[in-house]
Structure 1
Amino acid sequence: MKKEFMRTGKVLLIYPSMGFSGNFVRHAPLSLLYASMDLVARGVEVEFFDQRLYGENWREPLSEVIKDGLLVAGISVMSGTPIKMGIELTAFLKQALPQVPVVWGGPHPTFYPETVFTICPQVDYIVSGYGSRPFDLLVQAIEENNPEPNFPGIYYQKDGQLVANPSEQVFEYVDYKKIPYHLIKDYSVYGQLESKQIIFSMYSAYGCPYKCTFCSSPAYLKGFKHRWEKVEAMEVVDHVEYVQKNFGATYIYFIDDDSFVNLKHVETIIDEISRRKIPVELGFRGARVNEIKRMSDEFLDKLAAAGTDIMHIGAESGSNRILEILKKDCTVEDIIAVNQKLARHGQIKAAYNFIMGVPGETLEDMKKTRDLMLRLIKDNPSTMVFTPNKFRPLPGTELFEVAREQWDYKPPKTTEDWITLEAEGDHYAPWFNKRMISFSKLLLLGSYFIDHKIFRVTKGDTGVYKFLRAASWAYTPISNFRFRTGFDRFYIEYFFYQLGQRMSGLIFR
């Protein structure tokens, strides 16, 4: 039976609530801005609805937004809690407006498109991969009442079978002047922790040329002609200046997979930001140890002078054997050396990411990671250690095949499996024994306290953070003793941590 759609009305794009970490960090929904670019340029009315701003009380405000009908509703979905919220949002929309097509896009439909219609049968279409052009073509097809839009990146079901149109293997270059920043009415509601910064995320480069065995980028970019391409430096700086002057940006967060492949490119950007005296601070999400090895003290001085206050660095492990398995192109000794170099530039926080649960990892490897964390903090007062990520085998990656062939790993199948797949959730791979599970809990919870991060990133201006700072002050000596000695018996604190996770949505609402 041919679907009949509404052929007029606005397009509504929805950003769902996140998991535990989303209570502390809430950046503006860049995915919605990008997905709507071509629609807005074509004159289509677009509205955003950010579920994160309403907590549990989202139904009434959403009812008000959709009361006059919609042409299309789109939801940006990651794995984990956003799937649960996406299902609830889809059901709500379908009950209110049965004829309005619901489209899922974002990371989960990009990496696992074949799972979406099983997870949420009420979804009508998927946009997989870069979304601005495919989503606009899909909306045009809906306007023309064409229920079978066979454009790259569009997936749907026909007679119970999946119709797949894989996305084009090219980067989506974005003209910053086309980004409809005006669709977000108030940027002050976004930020992280207690920071008053007006944060804008943007790209200075696309992709990543490296081949880390755990990462989705090499798998996704396999068919691309170039796996890393830079945005022209002057265009990047023009973009920074544009959001600072027009929307009051005070902080620019470069969310590149890897910003520092070409150091000259970054140097040109920071030199120009300094030359123009643009009053912003900078953060870089993608930095590798092998790249920091190439940075001179003069280069790091320039980064600091341009306003850089943090670099997120993929250390990943304190075991050389695991680093080799991960293909990180560095050693533990390299990590220690670059951290000592960064210690000479204290304005820049060295924020290290780690991963635990790699296939073949042993308890001794995990202890070496613990020891490296402590060494980095000792050597550099500006070091921050982020909670280690639990390894998840991602389809298409080298370690997914290892996990499947050597450990008979089975990826998530049920909706509940996908919902509980949070970075800090209690999911453990089959190669984890009980002792490793216990130690991983120690690493995860202990990482909140070993660097006194809550005192460095909050001021205690609100009741919640005053309580968290007081609790941290009282518990840190106990946590650090456990962390350093590996003493995890009677670990009741982890139960309260899990309880806090479940209650956090109410606490931070």
Structure 2
Amino acid sequence: MAAAKKVALINPGKSQRFAVQEPLNLGYIAAYLEKNGVEVKIFDQLAGDDVENAVLAFKPDVAGITSTTPVIYEAYKNADFYRKNNILTVMGGVHPWFFPHEALAHADIVVRGEGEKAMLDIVNGKRAGGVIDAGYVENVNELPFPARHLMSMGRYLYCKKYTPHILHLPYVSSRKKIIHILTSRGCPHSECIYCHNSFKKFPYRANSPEKVIEEIKLLKKDYGIDALYFVEDDFWTDIERVAGISALLIKEGLNNIVWGASARVDQIVSTPPDVFALAKKAGCRSITIGFETGSPHMLEVLKKGFTIDDACKAAENVKKAGLLLHGNIIVGAPHETMEDARLSKQFLKKTAMVTPEIYLFTPYPGSMIWCKLETEKAIPANMDWRRFSQEETIINLSAIPTKQLNKLRAAMYITYYISNPMQAARLIFSALMHPRAIIDKILHTLKPGFINTSPLPVGERTKVRGN
């Protein structure tokens, strides 16, 4: 095939539950290709695009498809269709990264790693097939901003109208324009047993405060945004950078944009009060912390790298700063008992988190726990990847009976909303305003607790396909 000049980038999937934010990964690849003279379009199935017909009409030389685990079947269907129509088909994302040979049954090329430079090599005809180990971009500050002009921004700016169950910005209404922004890559911890970072092991790299502000100024100018959320794994990693971004937001008059970000417990424990005060003045309204559990035993199992005392101190620091505390809890982790779960419920109540996100432990491909199970031949050969949504028990590794475990998450949510009538009222209002999306989310949250969805059996295993 001659050197390609047109590239279609596809965001697959049909469930609105997965359409929370802009496809920033594709946006970065698109911007990098455009910078190098390539014609690019993004086709977003999650945003409702009829991607197959639209891609054929565009007549690309290359189709690049990203995918996470729960939407991999839609990704494979797309890949099969484009390859059948003689389009060089490339797959990337965390699932093809860990199962390249499975993905190669549907695509010509699989990219493992960050895709900007690898896709340009493919476009220029330097690679025509097989697996490309792309590694990572060392200097993310040199990358152009994601090509949002190619995205369905009318859909994503008002993401709360389509996914009103978004919990990480509880103070922003569905009438406000929301942007999700990525200003760093990698995680300095990378040890949590359930996380994709445990197999990537890419170093932490971040944009300078000046570059972050340049992007936010552009977003304000182009889209008139009201709120933003920093979607990186650990926005709070570099406290000096947080202070620098906050100071520049104030200096540039951008502190009328409210924002939230994620952080680790240890980062919040070590943050000085003046940095919290500066961030609040700069528009920060909430901090999301991956607590995951209220049990000291489970913190060790999950390899979180902090203690319950640390977690309580972090929660106290956030509230003392006048910020909303948002956080995550996981139930059903390896060896977890009902006593561990009781401690998590107690922790939720003690810390008074706002709209906590509660997940069922899911052994995602590539995570440390997945690799351990694979070594023990404890992975079934025929997986239903659609179930990997953290909303049902895939493999019960806890000491809690499966039926009881499936009800536990739903019960924790119900207890939270009964204890927080204002948040419950907001949920009911969202259900009335956006019934289809919110009912879909509620059903997926409650269904495992009341309808038997059996976990994959524990016993003799065969090697997982695609490895």
TM-score category of the 2 structures, normalised to the smaller one: 0.7 to 0.9
Deviation at 1:229, TM superposition (A): 3.0
Please say if 1:343 is aligned against 2:311. no
Which deviates more, 105-114 or 313-322?
105-114
Please say if 1:83 is aligned against 2:72. yes
TM-score, length of structure 2 as denominator length: 0.81
In structure 2, C-alpha distance between the alignment counterparts of 1:105 and 1:458, rounded to whole Å: 38
> Secondary structure of 1:33's match?
helix
- Residue pair 1:293, 1:338 contacting (<8 A) in 2 also: yes
In structure 2, C-alpha distance between the alignment counterparts of 1:141 and 1:250, rounded to whole Å: 42
Alpha carbons of structure 1 residues 448 and 304: separation in structure 2 relative to 1, 3 Å: farther
1:439 paired residue number: 405
Alpha carbons of structure 1 residues 91 and 113: separation in structure 2 relative to 1, 3 Å: closer
In structure 1, C-alpha distance between the alignment counterparts of 2:5 and 2:363, rounded to whole Å: 41
Deviation at 1:174, TM superposition (A): 4.7
- Residue pair 2:4, 2:123 contacting (<8 A) in 1 also: no
- Residue pair 1:17, 1:52 contacting (<8 A) in 2 also: yes
In structure 2, C-alpha distance between the alignment counterparts of 1:361 and 1:461, rounded to whole Å: 33
TM-score, length of structure 1 as denominator length: 0.75
1:361 paired residue number: 336
Please say if 1:126 is aligned against 2:96. no
> Secondary structure of 1:350's match?
strand
In structure 1, C-alpha distance between the alignment counterparts of 2:437 and 2:144, rounded to whole Å: 43
Percent identity between the two aligned chains? 21
- Residue pair 1:458, 1:465 contacting (<8 A) in 2 also: no
Question: Which letter maps to 2:449?
Answer: Y
Deviation at 1:314, TM superposition (A): 0.9
Deviation at 1:127, TM superposition (A): 1.5
1:110 paired residue number: 97
Alpha carbons of structure 1 residues 184 and 497: separation in structure 2 relative to 1, 3 Å: farther
1:147 paired residue number: 128
> Secondary structure of 1:425's match?
coil
Per-residue Cα deviation, 1:209-257 (whole angstroms, up to 9, x for no partner): 2242413324312xx5xx2233211221122112211232332221222
- Give the alignment partner of residue 74 of structure 1, picking from 39, 64, 68: 64
Deviation at 1:449, TM superposition (A): 5.5
Deviation at 1:126, TM superposition (A): 1.1
- Give the alignment partner of residue 39 of structure 2, picking from 35, 38, 45: 45
In structure 2, C-alpha distance between the alignment counterparts of 1:368 and 1:34, rounded to whole Å: 41
1:16 paired residue number: 12
- Residue pair 1:199, 1:252 contacting (<8 A) in 2 also: yes
In structure 1, C-alpha distance between the alignment counterparts of 2:185 and 2:320, rounded to whole Å: 30
- Give the alignment partner of residue 201 of structure 1, picking from 135, 157, 180: 180
1:455 paired residue number: 425
- Residue pair 2:32, 2:143 contacting (<8 A) in 1 also: no
Q: Which has the larger radius of gyration?
A: 1
Supply the RMSD in Å over aligned alpha carbons. Answer: 3.3
Per-residue Cα deviation, 1:126-166 (whole angstroms, up to 9, x for no partner): 12110111011111117xxx634xxxxxxx2xxxxxxx442
- Residue pair 1:6, 1:70 contacting (<8 A) in 2 also: no
- Residue pair 1:206, 1:229 contacting (<8 A) in 2 also: yes
In structure 2, C-alpha distance between the alignment counterparts of 1:318 and 1:175, rounded to whole Å: 41
2:205 paired residue number: 229
Q: How does 1:340-419 map to 2 (within 5 A)?
A: 340-346=316-322, 348-377=323-352, 383-392=354-363, 394-395=365-366, 397=368, 399-400=369-370, 402-404=372-374, 408=376, 410-411=378-379, 413-414=381-382, 416-419=383-386
Alpha carbons of structure 1 residues 390 and 326: separation in structure 2 relative to 1, 3 Å: closer
In structure 2, C-alpha distance between the alignment counterparts of 1:360 and 1:433, rounded to whole Å: 5
> Secondary structure of 1:48's match?
strand
Deviation at 1:7, TM superposition (A): 5.8
In structure 1, C-alpha distance between the alignment counterparts of 2:132 and 2:62, rounded to whole Å: 20
1:173 paired residue number: 140
Question: Which letter maps to 1:272?
Answer: L
In structure 2, C-alpha distance between the alignment counterparts of 1:100 and 1:8, rounded to whole Å: 10
Alpha carbons of structure 1 residues 449 and 105: separation in structure 2 relative to 1, 3 Å: farther
1:494 paired residue number: 449
> Secondary structure of 1:167's match?
strand
- Residue pair 2:403, 2:449 contacting (<8 A) in 1 also: no
Question: Which letter maps to 2:128?
Answer: P
- Residue pair 1:386, 1:448 contacting (<8 A) in 2 also: no
Alpha carbons of structure 1 residues 492 and 78: separation in structure 2 relative to 1, 3 Å: closer
The alignment of Structure 1 onto Structure 2 pairs a total of residues equal to: 433
Deviation at 1:84, TM superposition (A): 1.7
Deviation at 1:76, TM superposition (A): 1.1
